[in-house]
Amino acid sequence: MKKIINLRNVAIMIACLAASSVFAKGGTIESTSIAGDDTYEIIVVASPPEGGEVFGSGIYLYGDEVTITATPSECFVFVCWTEEDGMIVSIDQFYSFVVTQDLVLVANFEIKTFEIFLLADPEEGGEVFGGGTFACGEEITIEAIPAADYYFLHWITKGMIVSTMPIYTIVVTEDRTYTAVFAGEGGKFKITLLSNPAEGGVVFGEGYYDYGETVTISATSNPEYDFINWLEEGVELLTDSEYTFTVTSSRTLTGNFETYDIVILSNTPDCGVSGGGNYRPGIEVTVSANTRGNSYEFVNWTKNGTVVSTDAEYTFITAIGDMELVANFVETVGIEQLQVTSYELQVYPNPTSGELIIENGELIIENVEIFDILGKKQKIIFNFQLSTFNLTDLPVGIYFIRIQTEEGVITRRIVKD
């Protein structure tokens, strides 16, 4: 998840437009309806083909509600659904619509990219080359060149030695930091120890050590505290207060003396959440959000008002501190409850840079409300039959437009770019 949700939405739309334009340049797919005025063919395809699997192609009756799905491959993420001409129709992997014609719908996927960070230990020990941003699955080569009076020892990542050769080839599958460890004449490595919280206890064993030396560090808790675990770069090493290891590089380890509360909340009592509790720092935790079958759609998880995930099941590493997460839902009544078809009510253009049109045909609209992704009401408009209104005052992002008609409520997702 990026730091700012609005930037993420912009990136999604740009990526989707780029992906759909690539497909459009490749030509068209002919769709042929079978005999009969009331049956139509829905064809779903993936772009690029290796980006993932798509489901939902078939022959359907006029007025059927169809849900098509897109499942990305390991190195790809789903971006959006477009029509064959590149028009974006949805950014949801599960897209439902009412059949009124033959359609070719394209699931656009984008390959993941990851950051490879390179460090030298010690910094003056040498230079490292080959880091950067790379596509998932790409094979890259990193290189370490020692400075004068130093020699290369090995590459380490996540506390493990992965190569003793200065030139090392890897396949990119995730964000990763590799450290080239150098040693010189009389060179020593620093072991830094921290206490969390500072008043929780005392840690012993910090200092400078030779390469290959065996070191034992220990922790003693103060009254009213218990030792919990040792952490390194946010990863739990062990829960014993005494830890013995062989020095192969400089390290910073944190002794933790307290567990922390993960509090999870729902922005509506109609939906449920699970996974909260008391956890030690540095372990993997999964929280879940469930609509409980009610007429709601999950939107995202937020922490202190910042979006941290758009997945209903969110897995993360516990931080050093208490945490409160909020599952945000928006109420959405499906079009099937109104017995109307998509051409009787049009909301366009979507995405929009400012102007939004609601064309309602024979439906009488009583009012329109627009909510942001956190469920906060942004606009309300009353009593109209055909409306064009301006969204330029709204920030870039995803919104939900709730249309109250004489027959019920329709909720649509719109994108402001």
Whole-angstrom distance, CA of residue 167 vs CA of residue 373: 47
Q: What percent of the chain lies above the pLDDT cut of 90?
A: 46
| Average pLDDT rounded to a whole number, residues 253-274 | 91
At 356-415, the pLDDT tens digits run 887 777 777 777 888 776 666 777 665 455 567 778 888 877 777 777 777 777 777 788
Quick one: pLDDT band at residue 332, thresholds 50, 70, 90? low
Pick the more confident residue, 114 or 389.
114
Contact 133, 155 (CB under 8 A): no
Q: What is the pLDDT of residue 187?
A: 67
At 315-328, the pLDDT tens digits run 988 888 889 999 98
Amino acid identity of residue 349, one-letter, is P
Nearest alpha carbon to residue 132 among 121, 117, 120, 142: 117
Task: Check whether 109 has a pLDDT greater than 90.
Answer: yes
Fold of 189-256: Immunoglobulin-like (2.60.40)
Q: Identify the CATH assignment for 334-417 out of 3.30.1600.10, 3.30.70.260, 2.60.40.3080, 3.65.10.10.
A: 2.60.40.3080
Amino acid identity of residue 3, one-letter, is K
Element (H, E) at 5: helix 5-25
Fold of 113-184: Immunoglobulin-like (2.60.40)
Whole-angstrom distance, CA of residue 217 vs CA of residue 243: 5
Nearest alpha carbon to residue 353 among 4, 106, 17: 17
Q: Are strands 346-348 and 65-72 parallel, antiparallel or unpaired?
A: unpaired
Q: What percent of the chain lies above the pLDDT cut of 70?
A: 84
Nearest alpha carbon to residue 346 among 35, 172, 148, 98: 98
Amino acid identity of residue 25, one-letter, is K
| Average pLDDT rounded to a whole number, residues 122-144 | 94
Pick the more confident residue, 330 or 96.
96
Q: What is the pLDDT of residue 20?
A: 52
For CA atoms 193, 195, 196, 202, the dihedral sign is positive
Read off the tokens for 331.
């109420």
Read off the tokens for 89.
């129709």
Pick the more confident residue, 190 or 34.
190
| Average pLDDT rounded to a whole number, residues 143-169 | 91
For CA atoms 296, 322, 274, 80, the dihedral sign is positive
End-to-end CA distance of the chain: 19
